[in-house]
Amino acid sequence: MEYSSYLRFLPARYRDRVIEPQSTWWEWRGRRVHVARAEPARATVRMLALHGAGGHAGLVWPLLGIAAGEGVSVAALDLPLYGDTVEPRPGSVRYRDWVELVSEFVCAEAESDSRPLVLFGASIGGILAYEVAARTGRVAHVVATCLLDPGDPAARRAAARWKVLGALPTGVVRGTGRVAGGVRLPIRWLVDMANMSLDPALSRHCGSDPRGGGVRIPLGFLTDFLCYEHTPPQDYQGPPVTLVHPALDRWTPPELSVRFLDRIAADTRTVLLDGCGHFPVEEPGLTQLADTLRAINASVRTP
C-alpha cells in the first residue's frame, strides 16, 4: 500500500511516529477488499479508518498510523472503487454498498475480537461511520472529520462540485442515477478536489492519485449518496460521536457538520482543528486531532 507520498505532507515531527501498515484481504460479495493493518503488541483498543470520496487507506494512514505508534490496533479499508480493492463491476457500485460492506466488516471483526472499536471517518467517511455505528451496535465511539448530511440542501450543494447537481430535487437526482448511473466520470469532475487541502500541492496530489482522486466513479454512486436516507440524528441510539472538523475547511464548512451533530440523540463533542483544511495535516490542528484520539482511546479502553 502506497502512503509515503501523503506522509511527506505531515509536519516533520510526526513522520517518524507513523507505523508501517501490513496489507491483508477480506472477501465480500465477490470483491477482494484490501485492509491495511498495524497490530502493536498488547493493544487493547482497535480503530478502523474510513476514507471519503477520492480517498483510500493510504491517504488516511498517516493520520491513523500515529495512533498505531501509541499502541492502538489500527485498520483502514479500501472501499470499492478505491485503493487496492478488486472491484469486478465498478459501474454498479453505489454508496449503499459502502454502508453494507463496512457494517458487515465491523460485525465480522466484533465476532472474533472483543476489544472496543473506534470508527474514524474522514470526509464522507464521517457520515458513513455514523451510519455503521447506528446500524451495528458494535462500535464504542465515532470520530468524524465531517458529518455531511445529504438530507441538508446546503450539504448537498457542498458535496457536489457542480452546485446545480446538489440543488436538484431528489426525484430528479434519483432519475439521473437510474438513467445514467453506470456512466463513470473522474471523481474530480464531480466533487471539489481543489479544496481538499489548504496546500495546493497536496490538493493536486490527491486529485491525480490513480488510487484515489484520479479514479473514475459511476454517476450512480454520487446520486445514491445524495439521496441516501441516513439514520435520523434524533433517532440515533449509537455510541458517543466526536466531531473533529477542520476549522478552515473550504470544501465542507464546519457549520454544516455542527448542525447535524447538534441533533444527534447521544453524547457529542466538537473539536475544531485550528489551521486545518479539509485534509487535516496542518498545525496546531494535527496535534489537536492526535490529542483527541488519544483521549477517546483511553476512555473506551477496558480495564
Predicted pLDDT at 68: 85
Give one word for 233, left, alpha or beta, with left for phi > 0 and alpha for psi -120 to 50: alpha
Is 197 a member of any domain? no
User: Does the model's pTM come out above 0.85?
Assistant: yes
**What does the alpha-carbon distance between residue 64 and residue 35 come to, in Å, rounded to a whole number?**
13
Q: 3-state DSSP call for residue 184?
A: strand
Say which DSSP state 202 is in. Answer: H
Per-residue pLDDT at 303? 61
On whether the CB atoms of residues 95 and 225 are closer than 8 A, the answer is: yes
Instruction: Determine, yes or no, domain membership for 195.
Output: no
286 found inside a domain: yes
Our count of domains for the chain comes to 1
Question: Does a structural domain hold residue 186?
Answer: no
Give CA angle at 273 (167, 52), nearest 5°: 45
Question: What distance in Å separates the CA atoms of residue 100 and residue 175, rounded to the nearest whole number?
Answer: 23
Residue pair 89/80 in contact by the 8 Å Cβ criterion? no
Q: Judging by DSSP bridges, how do beta strands 31-38 and 22-28 pair with one another?
A: antiparallel
Q: Is position 15 within any domain?
A: yes
CATH number, domain of 33, equals 3.40.50.1820
Q: What is the mean pLDDT of each run of 10 residues along the chain (303 residues)?
A: 92 89 96 96 95 95 86 96 97 97 98 96 97 98 96 81 66 80 88 90 95 94 92 97 97 95 97 97 96 95 71
Is 145 domain-assigned? yes
Question: Nearest 10 degrees: CA dihedral of 17, 10, 188, 34?
Answer: -10
Amino acid at 268: T
Cα–Cα distance, 295 to 274 (Å, whole number): 18
Cell for 204?
A: 493536486
Separation between Cα atoms, residue 56 and residue 260, nearest integer Å: 25
* Burial class of residue 274 (count of CB atoms within 10 Å of its CB; 0-12, 13-18, 19+): middle
pLDDT on residue 165: 62
- Provide the domain limits for residue 136: 4-149+234-300
Q: Which of 149, 150, 76 is nearest to 119 (CA)?
A: 76
Classify residue 82: in a domain, yes or no: yes
Phi, psi of 159 (to 5 degrees): -65, -40
Q: Return all residues near 299 (Cβ < 8 A) that are at least 6 apart.
A: 141
Tell me if 277 is assigned to some domain: yes
